[in-house]
Structure 1
């Protein structure tokens, strides 16, 4: 079906007699299809638009109005008579009257441009008003003044030298707002001075006016005209409230031939768009990334269960006894942000493959060590390689899978693979240690990771060519916020090391070395904040702009992730200690009693990825945090003489609820906060919050347990130790209540997350 779009310069009265003329020209015997609202739907030809990313906030296809249609096209339909023009889809104000008729509690109504209308604004527009000449002139003056100020701010924020091209400023502003809208994932009509400042603070790269500017073609001009039409009556949406685009089953109606239209290179970076991967490639990417997570976590389980044997075989000194298990996490936390910054510049695929290959090599090397110091050094290097993988894996998921259920499920698989791998490593590690030896575990997991590296060479989405070595080095030098990364990494490394030190002996906090570590870490934090302010002010790359922390959803997710991870890791450890040290069960029986938490965690990760986009984030986080809070509460009131089924079983079932749901929801919120070309940094921030939570939780809980145990040292048997464990359980309960409270306050405006975007 052919549809021609009339030029905007055509007089509006040219269609004034359309219906009468159609009635006289049509033959009575001619059978015509009845014109419906569905026939009026269309899409713009995105190949003719410089930035083909979809329009944020649009939830329906566009619809033509009568003034845009030719008499020839209308003559092909039978046009029914309507009692009122307000019920006619061709009428200009059809959507407004439809919205007004539904009332304030009616279902959402969209305008002809596909954006949701705001009932209050429509109702106010419907009210009769009296305008004086003075009122109208004052309104025009304010509008002009606001436009001038907005233009000046946009030019200073968007262009390198603050000067725009020698062209029509209205067209320039249209293109600037269109790019900012898609970069920020904010509807076009909401791009005002506040959002322009937000764009600048988020660290998007400024452009050179002469290189960037090209005159909008006819399709782009028609699109901008549609975007402006009725914009004042649209509902203001948050970025996470953009609903799923409802695509009609009928093919899109083509626009008229565009005169001399030029296909421009999109202004966004290649990483801004989801790659056109096949279903098999999407599955392979998720499998590869989750598989590496699984194998790396399995080595942690192997270390935990095989550490006594490794210590004896490698003659590890008592002072270094716990370093093989803790040094990897410390190295990962210290290098995550640097790895993310590099991945965003040189490409997530390259960083992921390097990380996978190095992880596999270091795992194999661990099987050949002869001294404890060698094992500790290789575990530290493995932690650095893991940081490369963790930061780039998030960026690769966002590049391969579009927003929606598929991406949510992939995030859930990333979350599932870690606890599942750890549990698998514990079980298989115990078997290997008692049979063919702990070295075989390193050979097994190293081989798996190297195999998955080969899978990655085929499946991972390829990026644009990086250029020559000198160009790559120049990009790394210019585009990476080196000082910001150094300050953030120093803060994480020093604080995590300090927490690790006092977790082994709380009284080491009095030592000069511990005090220096704490002071240096606390000094790095304000320096980092000040440096971020300086970088944003100068328009230079900023690792995590300070403006991000004003996003309540982002800030609350980072805090709740840290709190939730601190509780679940500590709860696993202290539950195992309770079963072994207080109830005097074997390690195998203790592991069996913790098994329900693993099963529930697997089920939760799968289901969360499928339903997260259907339930508001606030209810997911608050509900799961409260449920998990019940777990340490039950362990705190458990009497050692009670059977497992009295309270401990339910405590194990509820233990993983918050952390597993938060992993998926948190990844979605964090990745939607950062721009598409900064997804590796997003993954780094998320994983850094998790790693910090692990270190903080274990340190605080062990300190609490040690202090309370010492205070009750006069008790008989294991009663003092039991009191220490109970104090830790009560502390975990308090942490989860704080977690639920922060989630409830910070996510109250977040709406549903993980929705498919247009």
Structure 2
């Protein structure tokens, strides 16, 4: 009698067990059978495939099912440990028993043939110890593994070899009977390394033959990589890491813009390319391939980008590569030409005596299971499939141009003929019948997670409960072709041309399947964790229960699908919100029940559109309802979903509440309400959000100058690494100031039109990209280029910070602290950059300083999207029209060109004061002076015509503003000069290393932090004039201390105090200046005023460095001192005295200019 089942799963490895578990949970009453050809479950880890020393690539925590953790007390595996094969076999067996389907597994049962059973599913021919029989099943899951059929080479005269010759798959079976002293292992895969290591442990000597016609030795990495020593099996499952791999389902992770930038733009592709180079160099450097000639033969032939499943992890008890150095494993880049008795003749002519040959030569893509149907793939002719493949190729390469330049292979790539399955699981013809699925994929580190989610997806698919399935054959075909053809281009050195090889794409692939099932893909506790914390199996715990809860909620209620009801609810919300706006605009009174909502929705549109054009939209929304009807009072159109915690009220209750805020905003839970009342206290936003705004804006200010500090400290090493010539060594610093100085005013003006937040966020994300690019740069020209683009990016952020702070915080302590901390960011960032630059340069490398900066900046930029307020001037004009007519483009161009020329000349003078005699510099300086002189006349002309003026001359009529600009110019010139020449003093005169010099700047950092904190509190109690004058007098002492210091003098006598006192005035003045601007100008001029202020500061930096460098160089050259250090010191002393003069002038300017300056930080009600 033929046995019949509802569902049959073939295979009891990771994927088969995961599918069986999900089927049991989703369809608990289904008659289920699992067929397994081995004598035990586990697939690769079944009992008959184990041998001593076999371990997993993964470590504990990444190789376990989400709902069945591998408890240390039970299995004895400690954290950060590889898992022995025997433990994995026991674990997988326990998993099947725990979920009560172990007794449904029919062991020693292999499948011979699968054929259609009419319209009733499938007929399966099986062979077991009892004989051959047929079973029937309505639904079939094949989880036999994608690489279960060994690819065994056919050697000439193999029949004469007379010794063991077998595939590595059978090593576990053959190993107990092997008694060899010499063995050959063929292949460069991880299994070849495993077999070679095991043989050596048993006392044999191994000749490892890596075929030159293959893809070379496997990429084998240490378990902990990067200078931060992160676990590789976790690193590849961090979301931001997956962005660097182009794949057509990548957008499923919710960050399409980032992926489009990285793979769709030239700059992004440059970052991606260098990222993979850095990662590859880190791994190869950690192994030390170049340290030994035999080891060098095992160095991977291709970049890590192309390898796919060719990536593996060292998991041996003792160092594998030491065996190569000791000669116990000899490496041959060769192939076996023929065999003789106990000998192998290589293609090179060399002969190796051996007692056995084990072939680790890969796997065939075809399954051992045969289908009666000829074609399970796409039901098209060969010509049609070729045409579809060509179209898919073109689309892949248009989406990912970086894939066009394929690696040069030693073997001709075969024509891609992959398994053409939907989502890599369902033959196209079975997408609609939903009765057949293939489970399995190739992944080095995410097998457990992918098996779990694939198994769940298959169980839901077979039950007819997948939320997102294409409806047309064309959609199915197009997606199958795109996804499967992509593999040929992405992983030519792996299985990409044949099988789903998803080493770096496993997480977005799982996200795609989860979205198909309507499950949440972002499962971390915060946005920061979402991007930086690895996704482990534990993050997907309870998926089936989560899905069942959701699916049960969409069952029919009174004959109506809840999904339809949800759509109706959204429609109702829009209708009610529109009615609220109409009621507010035209005193319309309306009450609607459920039956009238759809009619209202259709009828309201034309009337609503007219009202929207007249009224400004708000982001708040309030809905009030009772059991039988819904009505609205005072609501506004929702631009965000309703707060699910909002309490519902009747219209009468709403109208009796006299608090307009309560009517216009959704109620919040009592605990939130309590904290909100405490947090706001006149602030207008929560304290948490206020703190985030401050940290975000100050953070960019900090990172801005930190990059410059890192550059100064690491410049000699950077120049060596990227080949920056001596005549260009100052350019990375100069072009940054040049670009920022040219564009500050333009972007400040644009920000007043398009909005400060949009400008700031755009600039900050560009700053992330180009900071990372500097770290990845390979040539001096690239460093200069990306530093230029960095300067352009930061010029979008600096002028808008003043407006953002002023519009976030009302006058009072919060605004004072915000400006103080923002002011602290700039000098603190530069000083800390000097420290970190030295530390990184002398330890893990200067590049990591920029990587760290980019990561921090990305987190700040992401948080800014939510935290920063939207600041813009309402206007009926389109923003494009406003850009054309409300910005003085002639004035902006004039000033930018003038400043650019002037900054360029100053940069040239900084390298050598004699450069001022160069004809081109004289010409540029002359033109710059003429343009600057003409600029005020153009401003006056524009104002008289009633046209926009970039910097109206009236701006300078405010005495306080003019005074602080002059003071900031001189102050920043002094600060940059003293930091620069003190660094030179430490390194060139005292001969200290970059690290030692950096540590001497720590007092500078500490004092900068303290001064800004103190200023934030004093500003509301002390007159700005007093603060500015006293701080100027304190800082004025620093330069003379360095000008009179004796070479070799104790650090604590003079340099310490110079470092300690020098940041006082700049930090105080920065806070004071920003408060003066926010007080003196209306919101629509604050970005412009902020741009002018930052332009002055940036210009001061350049002028200060140029003049002091010219003075120092001139004095040194004319000193007639032969001893190099003494000559340099004489020039440095002159520079320090010039800085003292500048500081003294600051004191006079603030004393006179802020005479009428009162207390600007006092709270305003």
Task: Report the TM-score when normalising by structure 2.
Answer: 0.40
Q: Does the C-alpha gap of structure 1 residues 437 and 459 become closer, same or farther in structure 2, counting only changes over 3 Å? A: same
Partners of 2:1137 and 2:1059 in 1: how far apart? 16
Q: Does the C-alpha gap of structure 1 residues 600 and 435 become closer, same or farther in structure 2, counting only changes over 3 Å? A: closer
1:635-714 matched pairs, under 5 angstroms: 635-640=1042-1047, 642-714=1049-1121
Partners of 1:465 and 1:509 in 2: how far apart? 45
Partners of 2:742 and 2:872 in 1: how far apart? 29
Q: 1:449 aligns with which of 847, 851, 857?
A: 857
Determine the structure 1 residue equivalent to 2:1007: 600
Q: Does the C-alpha gap of structure 1 residues 712 and 294 become closer, same or farther in structure 2, counting only changes over 3 Å? A: same
2:763 paired with 1:362:
no
Partners of 2:799 and 2:894 in 1: how far apart? 18
Are the equivalent residues in 2 in contact too, given 1:296–1:445 (CA < 8 A)?
no
Q: Does the C-alpha gap of structure 1 residues 644 and 669 become closer, same or farther in structure 2, counting only changes over 3 Å? A: same
CA offset at residue 295 of structure 1? Answer: 2.7
CA offset at residue 312 of structure 1? Answer: 2.4
Alignment deviations for residues 407-445 of structure 1 (CA, whole Å, 9 cap, x no partner): 111111111122333333333333433444333333322
CA offset at residue 576 of structure 1? Answer: 2.3
Partners of 1:638 and 1:364 in 2: how far apart? 39
1:735-746 matched pairs, under 5 angstroms: 735-746=1142-1153
Determine the structure 2 residue equivalent to 1:281: 689
Partners of 1:370 and 1:685 in 2: how far apart? 35
Partners of 1:737 and 1:290 in 2: how far apart? 28
Determine the structure 2 residue equivalent to 1:545: 952
Q: Does the C-alpha gap of structure 1 residues 310 and 715 become closer, same or farther in structure 2, counting only changes over 3 Å? A: closer
Q: Does the C-alpha gap of structure 1 residues 730 and 426 become closer, same or farther in structure 2, counting only changes over 3 Å? A: closer
Alignment deviations for residues 527-568 of structure 1 (CA, whole Å, 9 cap, x no partner): 210111112222222222212222221111100001011111
CA offset at residue 454 of structure 1? Answer: 1.4
Partners of 1:588 and 1:315 in 2: how far apart? 22
Partners of 1:433 and 1:636 in 2: how far apart? 29
Specify the SS of the correspondent of 1:635: helix
Q: Does the C-alpha gap of structure 1 residues 582 and 311 become closer, same or farther in structure 2, counting only changes over 3 Å? A: closer
Partners of 1:285 and 1:698 in 2: how far apart? 32
- If you compute each CA radius of gyration, which structure gives the higher value, 1 or 2? 2
Q: Does the C-alpha gap of structure 1 residues 367 and 639 become closer, same or farther in structure 2, counting only changes over 3 Å? A: closer
Further displaced range: 730-739 or 426-435: 426-435
CA offset at residue 465 of structure 1? Answer: 9.6
CA offset at residue 589 of structure 1? Answer: 3.2
RCO higher in structure (CA 8 A, sep ≥6): 1
Partners of 1:426 and 1:701 in 2: how far apart? 19
Specify the SS of the correspondent of 1:692: helix
1:586-597 matched pairs, under 5 angstroms: 586-597=993-1004
Determine the structure 2 residue equivalent to 1:203: none
Question: Structure 1: 5+ residue runs without aligned partners?
Answer: 1-210, 212-256, 258-273
Further displaced range: 640-649 or 335-344: 640-649
CA offset at residue 374 of structure 1? Answer: 1.9
Alignment deviations for residues 155-174 of structure 1 (CA, whole Å, 9 cap, x no partner): xxxxxxxxxxxxxxxxxxxx
Q: 2:811 aligns with which of 396, 400, 403?
A: 403
Determine the structure 1 residue equivalent to 2:31: none
CA offset at residue 330 of structure 1? Answer: 1.4
Higher helix share: 1
Are the equivalent residues in 1 in contact too, given 2:767–2:793 (CA < 8 A)?
yes
Q: Does the C-alpha gap of structure 1 residues 714 and 326 become closer, same or farther in structure 2, counting only changes over 3 Å? A: same
Specify the SS of the correspondent of 2:810: coil
Q: Does the C-alpha gap of structure 1 residues 547 and 324 become closer, same or farther in structure 2, counting only changes over 3 Å? A: same
Specify the SS of the correspondent of 1:644: coil
Alignment deviations for residues 72-105 of structure 1 (CA, whole Å, 9 cap, x no partner): xxxxxxxxxxxxxxxxxxxxxxxxxxxxxxxxxx
Task: Report the TM-score when normalising by structure 1.
Answer: 0.61
CA offset at residue 641 of structure 1? Answer: 5.0
Are the equivalent residues in 2 in contact too, given 1:635–1:651 (CA < 8 A)?
yes
Q: How many residues align?
A: 486
CA offset at residue 464 of structure 1? Answer: 6.2
Partners of 1:376 and 1:511 in 2: how far apart? 22
Determine the structure 2 residue equivalent to 1:147: none
Partners of 2:845 and 2:1064 in 1: how far apart? 35
Q: Does the C-alpha gap of structure 1 residues 730 and 305 become closer, same or farther in structure 2, counting only changes over 3 Å? A: closer
Determine the structure 2 residue equivalent to 1:308: 716
Alignment deviations for residues 632-652 of structure 1 (CA, whole Å, 9 cap, x no partner): 112222222542233333222
Higher strand share: 2
Are the equivalent residues in 1 in contact too, given 2:756–2:804 (CA < 8 A)?
yes
CA offset at residue 458 of structure 1? Answer: 0.8
Q: 2:1156 aligns with which of 745, 749, 752?
A: 749
2:1041 paired with 1:634:
yes
Q: 1:343 aligns with which of 725, 728, 751?
A: 751
Q: Does the C-alpha gap of structure 1 residues 444 and 653 become closer, same or farther in structure 2, counting only changes over 3 Å? A: closer
Are the equivalent residues in 2 in contact too, given 1:548–1:673 (CA < 8 A)?
no
Alignment deviations for residues 506-542 of structure 1 (CA, whole Å, 9 cap, x no partner): 1111111111111111111122101111122222222
Are the equivalent residues in 2 in contact too, given 1:488–1:528 (CA < 8 A)?
yes
CA RMSD of aligned residues (A): 2.3
Determine the structure 2 residue equivalent to 1:380: 788
Partners of 2:1139 and 2:991 in 1: how far apart? 23
Partners of 2:1112 and 2:686 in 1: how far apart? 52
CA offset at residue 466 of structure 1? Answer: 7.6
Specify the SS of the correspondent of 1:614: coil
CA offset at residue 716 of structure 1? Answer: 4.4
Are the equivalent residues in 1 in contact too, given 2:841–2:994 (CA < 8 A)?
no
Partners of 2:758 and 2:905 in 1: how far apart? 33
Partners of 1:694 and 1:337 in 2: how far apart? 16
Question: Structure 2: 5+ residue runs without aligned partners?
Answer: 1-613, 615-657, 659-681
Further displaced range: 308-317 or 581-590: 581-590
Are the equivalent residues in 1 in contact too, given 2:1076–2:1160 (CA < 8 A)?
yes
Are the equivalent residues in 2 in contact too, given 1:341–1:543 (CA < 8 A)?
yes
Partners of 2:1020 and 2:842 in 1: how far apart? 46
